[in-house]
Amino acid sequence: MTTALREDFREILRLTPPGARVLDVGCGEGDLLDLLARERGVDGQGLEISAEGVAACLARGLAVVQGDADRDLDSFPTRAFDMAILSKTLQQMRDPRHVVSELLRIADRAVVSFPNFGHWRVRWALLARGRMPETRTLPNPWWSTPNIHLCTLHDFLALTDDLGLAIESCAALSEGRPARPIDPRSVLENWRAEAAVFVLRRGG
């Protein structure tokens, strides 16, 4: 875990203030919540769709509710959390627009990371081979991928503009390399970033 810390986890850890009240949407087996609890003393709550994931979280003492982000976020009260995290899950949501807007109703800040479908390898796979891309960040063939709503950095920017959200920061993520702060509006970064993590706020 400490040796193979996911780059987005490292970045989210950096962004998390000590003692924050955190909601991790799609928390899996609770690796991130556990890390944030140990390193930042956060008051964490998870939401996870799989029973196996929730059971693993319970066994490590995390407060996690089995549920579906598409359907169950609306049960959380407004501004109940300091921070809501959606780590590499956005592209698996049925209604990403609703989920993002819910995150920023529930929490003051949202941390959202996702693979960039504008990355040059993705574009190359389509342009040169005429095939759906299979890359490090998108390893599954089209017929078995859980990713149903992929987007590019600029697509996501358009969504945040549409929802009237402010971007506090953005960093490009690449496996095995530290997160690199970027301007997500840059045309070049929309080619370069394999994945990105956004910190969003309401308004502005």
Partner 1 sequence: MKAPSPAPAPAQDGIESGGGVWRFPADRPLRLDSGATLSPLEVAYRTYGTLNADRSNAVLVMHALTGDQYLASTHPVTGKPGWWTRVVGRGLPLDPDRFFIICANVLGGCMGTTGPGSTDPATGAPWGLSFPVITIADMVRAQAMLVEALGIETLFAVVGASMGGMQALQWAADYPERIFSAVCIAGAARHSAQNIAFHEVGRAAIMADPDWRGGAYEAAGVRPEKGLAVARMAAHITYLSEAALQRKFGRELQRDGLSWGFETDFQVESYLRHQGASFVDRFDANSYLYITRALDYFDLAAAYDGQLAGAFARARDVRFCVLSFSSDWLYSTAESRHVVRALNAAGCRASFVEIETDKGHDAIFLDEPALDSALRGFLASAAEKRGLA
Nearer Cβ to partner 1, position 37 or 195? 37
Closest distance between partner 1 and the C-beta of residue 104, in Å? 17
Closest distance between partner 1 and the C-beta of residue 201, in Å? 21
- The residues pairing with 198 across neighbouring beta strands, listed in sequence order, are 112, 170
92 vs 38, 136, 149, CA distance in Å? 28, 17, 6
Residue 80 engages partner 1 in binding (rule: CB under 8 A):
yes
Q: Which of 76, 117, 156, 198 binds partner 1 (CB under 8 A)?
A: 76
Residue type (1 letter), 173? L
94: left (phi over 0), alpha (psi -120 to 50) or beta: alpha
Nearest to 39 by CA among 8, 12, 6: 12
Residue 158 engages partner 1 in binding (rule: CB under 8 A):
no
Residue 54 engages partner 1 in binding (rule: CB under 8 A):
yes
Segment near partner 1 (CB under 8 A), from 11-19, 43-51, 131-139, 160-168? 43-51
What is the rounded CA–CA span in Å between residue 162 and residue 156? 10
Residue 59 engages partner 1 in binding (rule: CB under 8 A):
yes
Site of interaction with partner 1 (CB under 8 A):
43, 45, 51, 54-55, 57-67, 72, 75-77, 80
